[in-house]
Amino acid sequence: MKKILIGIQILILVLILIKAASVVGLIKKTDYLSATSLITRQALAESPVASPASGKMPSALGQPLNETAGDDLTTVKDLASALAAKKSELDKRESGLRVEEQRLLALKKEITDKILLLKSQEEKLTSALESNKADEVKRYKDMAKVYESAPPAKAGKMLEQLDIKTAAGITMNMKKDKAGAVWGYITPQKAAAITKEITHTGGR
């Protein structure tokens, strides 16, 4: 850059001298034009401007245009790469969420199936208990008829030998007058235990 400025200054100085000489007639006009052309060619030869064949032109800041365009292209490529990376990250997260959603749906179905199975088992168990209870009540009623037909003293003696639960079940299914007659042949301790069992079961 310094050499260019010096060349321009020399060119201006030479032009001034030649102009002055032509005025006073020291040199001819043709010599003036020849010298001017020669100096101009020398100045252009020292200029940093590249020929069109080189494919490079200086920018306003002294930077080649193709280099500026290359920087812009690099910036665009970097931005595109960053966007692609972000898209890939979002795709992975979306895929992970879908997998987690499928896992939760499968877990929900498993829990629902287990709940339905437990409800089914509960219903079967309830039905079985009700059936057993009905059979038990029928058995107590049949036994109560036997005790009702027996003499009160004999029926009282048989009740004394039974467990509290069975004795209470039979007593509850006997007719009140028959049960009262048998009650007089049961010891107070046994009668109290049978009464407690009947109260505990709600008189059923």
Quote the pTM value: 0.41
Taking only the tens of pLDDT, the chain with its 204 residues reads 445 545 555 666 566 666 555 544 544 444 544 554 554 455 445 444 444 444 444 444 444 545 666 677 788 888 888 888 888 899 999 999 999 999 999 999 999 999 999 999 999 999 988 888 888 889 999 999 999 999 999 999 999 999 999 999 999 999 999 999 999 899 999 999 999 998 887 645
Beta-carbon count within 10 A of 148 CB? 18
Helix axes 164-172, 188-200, angle to 10 degrees: 70
- Tell me the C-alpha distance between 10 and 27, whole Å: 19
Domain assignments of the chain as residue spans, ordered by start: 1-48, 134-200
